[in-house]
Amino acid sequence: MKEFTYTITDPEGIHARPAGELVKVAKEFSCKITLTKDGKSGDCKKIFGIMGLAVKSGNEIVINFDGEDEDAAYDKISAFMKENL
């Protein structure tokens, strides 16, 4: 299992479009990918789960990877977060 912590810098937070992109990237992997904010979690492969967290600019989130391809998923998603959010 791997995880990384990230503070959202995009002024709009994880709104619909980046949530969609995040889901798209997450679905490339088989491992379980969970996003947690303030104790509430959502499955990164489900758009309603992510949007339901209403992650805003400045929020600290933790993304957790668990499964076979967790290393590859970690690399790709951490790069995605830094670049887009």
Partner 1 sequence: MKTYYGKSVFNGIAIGKTSIYQKREQQVKRVKTEDTEKEKKRYYAATEQATEELQVLYEKALKEAGEVNAAIFEVHQMMLQDDDYKESVENIIESQQVNAEYAVAATGDNFSNMFAAMDDEYMRGRAADVKDISERLLGILNGNTRAGMDTEEPVIILADDLAPSETVQMNKDMVLSFVTVHGSVNSHTAILARTMGIPALISTDITLDDTVNGKLAIVDGSKGVVYIDPDEDTLVMMKEKQKKEQEQKELLQALKGKADITLDGKEIKLYANIGNNKDLAAVIQNDAGGIGLFRSEFLYLEKDNYPTEEEQFAVYKTVAETMAGKQVIIRTLDIGADKQCGYFQIEKEDNPAMGYRAIRICLDRPEIFKTQLRALFRASAYGNLAIMYPIITSVWEVKKIKEIVEEVKKELEEQGIDFGSPSQGIMIETPAAVMISQELAREVDFFSIGTNDLTQYTLAIDRQNTKLDSFYDAHHPAVLSMIRMVIENAHKEGIWAGICGELGADLDLTQEFLAMGIDELSVSPGRILPIRKIILETNVGELKS
* Active site residues per annotation: 15
Question: Minimum Å distance from CB 15 to partner 1?
Answer: 6
Phi, psi of 61 (to 5 degrees): -125, 155
Shortest distance, position 69 Cβ to partner 1, whole Å? 19
76, 31 Cβ separation under 8 angstroms: no
Closer residue to partner 1 (CB): 20 or 79: 20
Query: Strand runs (DSSP E) across 1-85, as ranges?
Result: 2-7, 32-37, 40-43, 60-66
The whole-angstrom separation of Cα 51 and Cα 18 is 10
**Residue 20 or 67: which CB sits closer to partner 1?**
20
Would you tell me which residues interact with partner 1 (CB under 8 A)? 7-13, 15-17, 19-20, 23-24, 43, 45-49, 51-52, 54, 56-58
